[in-house]
Amino acid sequence: MRQSELRKLPSVDRLLQTEDIARLVEQHGRGLTLDALRAVLDDARQAVLSGQPAQGAEALIAETGRRLMVDARPSLYPMINATGVIIHTNLGRAPLSERARRAMAQVSVGYSNLEYDILAGARGSRYIHASDLLCRLTGAEDALVVNNNASAVLLTLTALASERQVLISRSQLVEIGGGFRIPDVMRQSGAELVEVGTTNRTYVHDYAEALHPMHTAIILRVHHSNFQLTGFVHEPALAELVILGDEYAIPVMDDLGSGTLLDTEPYGLAHEPTIQESISAGASIVTASGDKLLGGPQAGLILGKADLIHKLRRHPLARALRVDKTTLAGLQATLLAYLEGKAAEEIPVWRMITTPLETLARRARKWQRALKGTGVPMDVVPAESTVGGGSLPGQTLPTWALALEVPSPDALAARLRQGTREPAQAPDLVEAPPLVARIEDNRLLLDPRTVLPEQDGALIKTMEAALSAQPTQV
Ligand SMILES: *Cc1c(COP(=O)(O)O)cnc(C)c1O
């Protein structure tokens, strides 16, 4: 019985001769189409063996088409961030400004003067491109851009402290997340870690006692990016460490992580240390990320004394950690917005931080009106956004969010995360991208602060699709 049912299934060869499959071969290539076809036939055979009737050629061909749509689709695609976490590392950190996107597109289309000295008509250096801007913005003598802040720290320690000692407070032996732990990076660089002070209290004299005029290469300070040190605590100010370092001609390095150029305080947030402050406090080397509060592309910024930056630039590791032309173009464009005093208007991360409350309330109400037809009970409620991205831990910004009352917010959140990922709806991925929301007090919250204004239409489409798909289950 099952044998005769199995025989009803068409062969790969027969299906390949159909017009529909020929069209799929033309569109997706023979290799991908054959893989999909074989997988569909395998599934069909299993279905027959488990007692189901054999599917006809038409159904098998349609299924092959659906499978190809999924197989031929990139696994990385845009999403909507409705979580209210502005710098969300899992969602790609800083969205780029229009100016940065344009600069990156322009430089990637054709050739550029990436390493070409136009005056000399000869080979130049890619490292000049962002360094002038960085120096003008921060007062640093020189600057170097590498792949990310983790590589900035690794390069600096390797080039300046390998087989020598680095002093660091016990309160700063931190894990940033994503596997970046200061003691591990230190080991990788070949530097010897010398812990000073205690977990909660460290004084300048702790550094002074551990310091060895010959063996100490660097005094390192690491910003507590993602946790707060409170209670009975003490850490010396950067300027105090600089006085000690100067006495023995030992450079002080400040790993800021987020490293902002704009002050966060006027926007109701605590003070996040700025790069300019560290430079003017006398740090010899300051490291920061390009895609945290700076709001640019992924990059690691190293700023500081000219002789040290020169050493880093010449180290073989610098070549391995170098950035490409699109990063440099995007970073330059981002830095130019700061220099022109337009950062708060142009750079998405800062636009999100500075969005007025009334604007947030208005957008949440607009979403509410647009989703009225779904029949789901919802309300615009006060909530809190956070900056995220290893900056300002525990700090929040007041916001207005749209809160949906559904039987299972978790099930709805899961549907929204997956977007319209079913093969049948594959083309909708662009029109209605997947969305990440937040769940609070058993409600699903959508925070307008982190949703780009041009994504309003897409958000409504994604919400409607998820709410209408399985109303009984959500
Ligand atoms: C985020 C962070 C890093 C790592 O930066 P990436 O750009 O993610 O490589 C290093 N140090 C500190 C203090 C940080 O906050």
Q: What is the pLDDT along the chain (474 residues), one digit of tens a residue?
A: 678 889 999 999 999 999 999 999 999 999 999 999 999 999 999 999 999 999 999 999 999 999 998 888 888 989 999 999 999 999 999 999 999 999 999 999 999 999 999 899 999 988 888 999 999 999 999 999 999 999 999 999 999 999 999 999 999 999 887 778 999 999 999 999 999 999 999 999 999 999 999 999 999 999 998 888 899 999 999 999 999 999 999 999 999 999 899 999 999 999 999 999 999 999 999 999 999 999 999 999 999 999 999 999 999 999 999 999 999 999 999 999 999 999 999 999 999 999 999 999 999 999 999 999 999 999 999 999 999 987 788 899 999 999 999 999 999 999 999 876 554 454 466 778 999 999 999 999 999 999 999 999 999 999 999 998 754 444
Asked if residue 214 and residue 357 are part of one domain, the reply reads no
Residue ending a domain, choose from 343, 364, 385: 343
Q: Does any ligand 1 atom lie closer than 6 A to the CB of residue 67?
A: no
Asked if residue 265 and residue 175 are part of one domain, the reply reads yes
Asked if residue 212 and residue 106 are part of one domain, the reply reads yes
Q: Does any ligand 1 atom lie closer than 6 A to the CB of residue 289?
A: yes
pLDDT of residue 459: 96
Domain-embedded: residue 322? yes
Ligand 1 mean position, distance from CA 404 (Å): 35
| Number of Cβ atoms within 10 Å of the Cβ of 1 | 6
pLDDT of residue 178: 75
Among protein residues, the one whose CA lies closest to atom 7 of ligand 1: 149
Q: Does any ligand 1 atom lie closer than 6 A to the CB of residue 146?
A: no
In Å, how far are 17, 248, 283, 329 from 165, measured between CA atoms?
A: 71, 14, 18, 37
Using most ligand atoms within 8 A of CB, pick from 149, 223, 260 the residue to mutate for ligand 1.
149
Residue ending a domain, choose from 321, 343, 365: 343
Asked if residue 263 and residue 126 are part of one domain, the reply reads yes
pTM score: 0.92
pLDDT of residue 429: 67
Domain-embedded: residue 115? yes
Q: Does any ligand 1 atom lie closer than 6 A to the CB of residue 296?
A: no
Ligand 1 mean position, distance from CA 461 (Å): 36
Contact assessment for residue 459 and residue 367, using Cβ atoms and an 8 Å cutoff = yes
Give the DSSP H/E element, type plus range, for residue 381.
Answer: strand 378-388
Domain-embedded: residue 122? yes
Which residues have CB under 8 Å from 248's CB, separation 6+? 211, 213, 216
Domain-embedded: residue 279? yes
Domain count, the chain: 3
Using most ligand atoms within 8 A of CB, pick from 145, 225, 302 the residue to mutate for ligand 1.
225
For 60, half-sphere exposure in the C-beta direction (CA atoms, 13 angstrom radius) is 28
Q: Does any ligand 1 atom lie closer than 6 A to the CB of residue 338?
A: no
Ligand 1 mean position, distance from CA 176 (Å): 6
Residue ending a domain, choose from 304, 323, 343: 343
Asked if residue 233 and residue 120 are part of one domain, the reply reads yes
Among protein residues, the one whose CA lies closest to atom 5 of ligand 1: 149
Contact assessment for residue 244 and residue 204, using Cβ atoms and an 8 Å cutoff = yes
Asked if residue 426 and residue 400 are part of one domain, the reply reads yes
Asked if residue 394 and residue 282 are part of one domain, the reply reads no
Which residues have CB under 8 Å from 16's CB, separation 6+? 22, 25, 34, 37
pLDDT of residue 71: 81
Closest-lying ligand 1 atom to the alpha carbon of residue 150: 9
Asked if residue 258 and residue 109 are part of one domain, the reply reads yes
Q: Range of 11's domain?
A: 2-72
Asked if residue 26 and residue 149 are part of one domain, the reply reads no
Q: How many helices (H) and strands (E) does the chain have?
A: 21, 18
Asked if residue 149 and residue 38 are part of one domain, the reply reads no
Asked if residue 298 and residue 182 are part of one domain, the reply reads yes
Closest-lying ligand 1 atom to the alpha carbon of residue 258: 15
Which residues have CB under 8 Å from 464's CB, separation 6+? 371, 373, 374
- Tell me the three-class secondary structure of 321-334, residue by residue: CCCCHHHHHHHHHH
Asked if residue 326 and residue 192 are part of one domain, the reply reads yes
Ligand 1 mean position, distance from CA 258 (Å): 7
Q: Does any ligand 1 atom lie closer than 6 A to the CB of residue 290?
A: no
Domain-embedded: residue 473? no
Domain-embedded: residue 472? no
Q: Does any ligand 1 atom lie closer than 6 A to the CB of residue 150?
A: yes
Domain-embedded: residue 163? yes
**CATH number of the structural domain spanning residue 436:** 3.90.1150.110
Which residues have CB under 8 Å from 428's CB, separation 6+? 419, 420, 461, 465
Give the Cα separation of 464 and 408 in Å (integer): 16
Domain-embedded: residue 18? yes
**CATH number of the structural domain spanning residue 253:** 3.40.640.10
